[in-house]
């Protein structure tokens, strides 16, 4: 059937969120509301040392004086921060020693998500830490990693078992007062992942965290801290899902990466939080602060595939402090129906001969708005800094929008900065051509979108790339009516 | 195989085809010639099932089924192939990936499993050798930055891979130099057998030196005004289209 914009729009509206189910696991949830007592209760619940509680209280006091930012190209009803529960944990208190002990329902959840842990263990050797609602449920492969001196555990465990590392690095890249959402996260973060790679160690497997919001009316505030010591390497994967709910759920995470001299961190995200229904009801508000610091000769690569959330506010950034350090940002952001995304990166060139690359692919459908916002700053001392930015937008239908806000601040005249941008549409002629080759319209759209996103998909680790392609298809397709 | 009866078709309310009758049996090659604007490309597009074109009257039967009941991809699954006059670009999708997707979608629709990778690769190598296609070409984005000749050769490559029952080649000779024309013609001739049929749509007689048709039809103002054998094409070339009007 030949394809009109009308039909395309209709088809896209009919797609359903594939991960919209709810696991019935008993959980202990704090009453709604946020005050100093809440912060103390979270800290106490997690048996945290005093220095951690103090850190949280300072962040909370800073947050109280801050205002929610309004500069992003997004419209939404401000969350009522007193109408959210800040802690929810599955009721079993003991940590599971092996997967056999994990609640079968939880395992079922993972199976529905298509991330069978057993399979992952066997096939790909991915170490997985799963944060469901607020508590880290299972970390596999911990022993294998321990032999190499790699620490991969929940941030709560790290606070207790490796306080010297947490104290030294937590909040150094994203200070608690950095912004409204980072301050909130610093005050109430309930769990998240911690990773330390010792000097000269190449982490032998992909490390992976899966985040899932399950309980109604809860916020999820995870905190991730990755430290790659001198000359080390790690590839880190992060995946997210949430069940479909009518109300908006708040997610405000912080991810800090520290790449010491000659180290390399590859951080990949596939974000698939519930985007809301086709009328724009429900969906996750995703306000995330992600930032890494690069010391001498080090490299940080951010790769993200953002298909979910009603609101995405996210700018994974690199501070290129050390000479010859490299920052990379590869992004695919898909918005459909009433989704809004304002995402991009900041590359701050401080050291000499620092390089950054930005490849951003925005795909908009339905009535969605998709914005790229990026800053490239070259400080006065950053001699011979180089940046290349490419921002491509693909539009489907006539009711969506693609926007590009590139900011460039060059304060050293030896800097070389390039910026390229394109906007294109999926054409009816492309669809007809594919149809004539026996490829139905759904598959044709998937093919075209995958082709458009290829430069970024190629940057993902193999197992993740397959999942990401599948996600792109789910996000943009429905049954042909 | 293909039977068109009294076909009237229009686009945006404008009538283009005004009563076409055409019968193509398996094993035959038909050439449809005619001046610009006579409705040649419309005919091929209507057979392929483009929805912008309205069938006002008449019918198109393919293996005794009325095609009006089937959409574009279903017609493709039945074995109808159209070589486009202007093949579209799909950035980031390689020639190999595209044909792989196409073949597997066809197989899926016909209840077959996906073609095993080694069989696929062997077939790709075989057909690209036949059409003198460089292996580097196969990993380029579909039609992106292709020369006119490369685009047409890629269409014939896809045809050779898909092995359709009915191939409609719309102005496949335009934009080809003489060497490329010979290669393309050779590819089409290889497809010819007792079970397949080819409809060549062309403005010039040149292609017919290499792909010799069994029948030649002249289309003018939406109707077939003259039919004959290959000599008709030669006569047309000498006398011009005004002769048949």
Q: Where are the domains of chain B?
A: 2-243
Tokens of B24: 């193509």
Closest CA to A224 of A183, A263, A166, A180: A166
Q: Does A58 touch chain B (CB under 8 A)?
A: no
Closest-CA distance of chain A to residue B80, Å:
8
pLDDT at A109: 55
Structural domain includes residue A281: yes
**A443 with B101: Cβ contact below 8 A:** yes
Give the closest of B76, B87, B158 to A435, CB-based.
Answer: B76
Which residue from B minimizes the CA distance to A394?
A: B91
Structural domain includes residue A129: yes
Give the closest of B52, B97, B109 to A438, CB-based.
Answer: B109
One pLDDT digit (tens) per residue for chain B, 245 residues: 999 999 999 999 899 999 999 999 999 999 999 888 889 999 999 999 998 999 999 999 999 999 998 999 999 999 999 999 999 999 999 999 999 999 999 999 999 999 998 999 999 999 999 888 888 999 999 999 998 888 999 999 999 999 999 999 998 888 788 888 888 898 889 888 899 999 999 888 888 889 999 999 999 999 999 999 988 888 888 888 777 76
Write down the pTM of the prediction.
0.80
Structural domain includes residue A142: yes
Structural domain includes residue A450: no
**A440 with B105: Cβ contact below 8 A:** yes
Which residue from A minimizes the CA distance to B97?
A: A447
**B77 with A452: Cβ contact below 8 A:** no
Structural domain includes residue A5: no
One pLDDT digit (tens) per residue for chain A, 481 residues: 334 445 444 544 444 444 444 444 456 677 777 888 888 888 888 889 999 999 999 999 999 898 888 888 888 888 888 888 787 765 544 444 455 555 565 566 555 555 545 544 433 344 556 665 545 444 556 667 888 999 888 888 899 999 999 999 999 999 998 999 999 999 988 888 899 999 999 998 778 776 655 555 566 788 999 999 999 999 988 876 655 555 667 888 899 999 999 999 999 988 887 778 777 788 888 889 999 999 999 999 999 988 888 888 899 999 999 999 999 999 999 888 888 889 999 999 999 999 999 999 998 888 888 999 999 999 999 999 999 999 999 988 788 889 999 999 999 999 999 999 999 888 889 999 999 999 999 889 889 988 999 888 888 877 677 777 777 777 775 423 2
Tokens of A9: 């729009």
Q: How many whole angstroms separate alpha carbon B171 and alpha carbon B159? A: 15
Q: Does A122 touch chain B (CB under 8 A)?
A: no
Q: How many whole angstroms separate alpha carbon A399 and alpha carbon B171? A: 37
Per the CB < 8 A criterion, the answer to whether A230 and A261 are in contact is: yes
A427 neighbourhood in chain B, CB within 8 Å: 88
pLDDT at A128: 58
pLDDT at A76: 83
Structural domain includes residue A134: yes
Tell me the pLDDT tens digit for each residue of B63-105.
999 999 899 999 999 999 999 999 999 999 999 999 999 999 9
Per the CB < 8 A criterion, the answer to whether A472 and A446 are in contact is: yes
A442 neighbourhood in chain B, CB within 8 Å: none
Q: Does A437 touch chain B (CB under 8 A)?
A: yes
* Gap between the terminal Cα atoms of chain A: 11
pLDDT at A208: 77
Structural domain includes residue A382: yes
Closest CA to A273 of A327, A334, A227, A329: A334
Which residue from A minimizes the CA distance to B107?
A: A438
Range of the domain at A97: 16-426
Closest CA to A9 of A367, A314, A267: A367
**How far from A211 is each of A240, A247, A310, B171, CA to CA, in Å?**
5, 19, 17, 55
- Number of structural domains, chain A? 1
Per the CB < 8 A criterion, the answer to whether A55 and A323 are in contact is: no
Q: Does A381 touch chain B (CB under 8 A)?
A: no
Q: Which CATH architecture has domain B2-243?
A: 3-Layer(aba) Sandwich (3.40)
Structural domain includes residue A171: yes
B112 neighbourhood in chain A, CB within 8 Å: none
Give the closest of A432, A435, A452 to B92, CB-based.
Answer: A452
């Amino acid at each position: 059937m030949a394809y009109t914009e009308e039909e395309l729009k209709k088809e896209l509206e009919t797609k359903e969120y594939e991960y919209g189910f709810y696991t019935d696991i008993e959980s202990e949830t704090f009453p709604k509301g946020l005050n100093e007592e809440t912060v103390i209760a979270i800290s106490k619940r997690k048996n945290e040392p005093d220095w951690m509680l103090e850190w949280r209280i300072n962040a909370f006091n800073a947050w109280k004086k801050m205002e929610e930012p309004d500069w992003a190209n997004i419209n939404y009803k401000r969350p009522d921060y007193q109408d959210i529960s800040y802690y929810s944990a599955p009721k079993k208190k003991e940590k599971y020693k092996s997967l056999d002990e994990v609640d079968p329902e939880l395992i079922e959840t993972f199976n529905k998500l298509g991330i069978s842990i057993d399979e992952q263990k066997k096939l790909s050797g991915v170490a997985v830490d799963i944060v469901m609602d607020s508590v880290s449920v299972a970390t596999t492969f911990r022993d294998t990693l321990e032999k190499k001196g790699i620490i991969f555990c929940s941030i709560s465990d790290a606070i207790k078992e490796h306080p010297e590392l947490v104290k030294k690095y937590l909040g150094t890249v994203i200070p608690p007062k950095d912004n409204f959402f980072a301050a909130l996260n610093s005050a109430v973060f309930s769990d998240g992942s911690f990773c330390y790679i010792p000097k000269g160690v190449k982490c032998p497997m992909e490390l992976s965290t899966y985040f899932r919001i399950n309980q109604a009316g809860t916020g999820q505030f995870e905190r991730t801290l990755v430290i790659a010591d001198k000359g080390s390497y790690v590839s880190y994967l992060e995946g997210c899902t949430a069940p479909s709910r009518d109300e908006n759920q708040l997610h405000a995470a912080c991810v800090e990466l520290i790449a010491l001299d000659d180290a390399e961190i590859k951080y990949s995200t596939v974000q698939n939080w519930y985007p809301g229904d086709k009328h724009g009801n429900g969906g996750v508000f995703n306000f995330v602060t992600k930032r890494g610091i690069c010391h001498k000769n080090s490299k940080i690569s951010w790769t993200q595939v953002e298909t979910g959330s009603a609101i995405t506010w996210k700018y994974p950034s690199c501070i290129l402090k050390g000479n010859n350090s490299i920052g990379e940002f590869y992004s695919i952001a898909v918005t459909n129906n009433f989704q809004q995304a304002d995402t991009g990166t900041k590359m701050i060139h401080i050291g000499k001969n620092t390089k950054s690359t930005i490849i951003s692919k925005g795909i908009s459908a339905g009535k969605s708005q998709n914005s790229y916002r990026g800053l490239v700053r070259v400080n006065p001392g950053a001699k011979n800094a180089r940046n290349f930015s490419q921002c491509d937008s693909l539009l489907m239908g006539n009711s969506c929008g693609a926007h590009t806000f590139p900011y460039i601040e060059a304060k050293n005249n030896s800097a070389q900065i390039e910026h390229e941008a394109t906007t294109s549409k999926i054409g009816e002629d492309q669809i007809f051509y594919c149809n004539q080759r026996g490829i139905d319209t759904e598959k044709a759209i998937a093919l075209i979108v995958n082709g458009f996103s290829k430069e970024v998909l190629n940057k993902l680790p193999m197992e993740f790339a397959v999942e990401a392609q599948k996600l792109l298809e789910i996000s943009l397709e429905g049954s042909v009516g | 195989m293909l039977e068109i009866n009294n076909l009237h078709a229009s686009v945006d309310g404008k009538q283009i085809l005004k009563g076409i009758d055409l019968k193509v049996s398996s094993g035959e090659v038909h050439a449809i010639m005619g001046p610009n604007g006579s409705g040649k490309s419309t005919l091929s597009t209507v057979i392929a099932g483009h929805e912008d074109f309205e069938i006002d009257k008449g019918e198109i039967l393919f293996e005794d089924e009325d095609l009006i009941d089937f959409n574009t991809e279903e017609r493709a699954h039945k074995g109808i192939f159209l070589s486009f006059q202007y093949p579209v670009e799909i950035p980031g999708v390689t020639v190999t990936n595209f044909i792989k997707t196409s073949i597997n979608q066809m197989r899926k629709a016909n209840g077959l499993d996906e073609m095993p990778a080694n069989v696929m690769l062997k077939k790709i190598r075989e057909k690209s050798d036949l059409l003198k296609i460089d292996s580097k070409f196969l990993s380029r984005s579909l039609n992106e930055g292709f020369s006119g000749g490369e685009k047409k050769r890629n269409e014939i490559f896809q045809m050779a891979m898909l092995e359709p029952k009915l191939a409609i080649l719309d102005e496949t000779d335009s934009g080809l130099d003489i060497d490329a024309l010979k290669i393309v013609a050779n590819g089409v001739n290889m497809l010819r057998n007792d079970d397949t049929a080819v409809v060549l749509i062309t403005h010039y007689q040149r292609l017919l030196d290499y792909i010799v048709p069994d029948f030649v039809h002249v289309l003018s103002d939406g109707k077939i005004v003259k039919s004959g054998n290959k000599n008709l094409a030669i006569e047309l070339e000498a006398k011009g289209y005004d002769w048949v009007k």
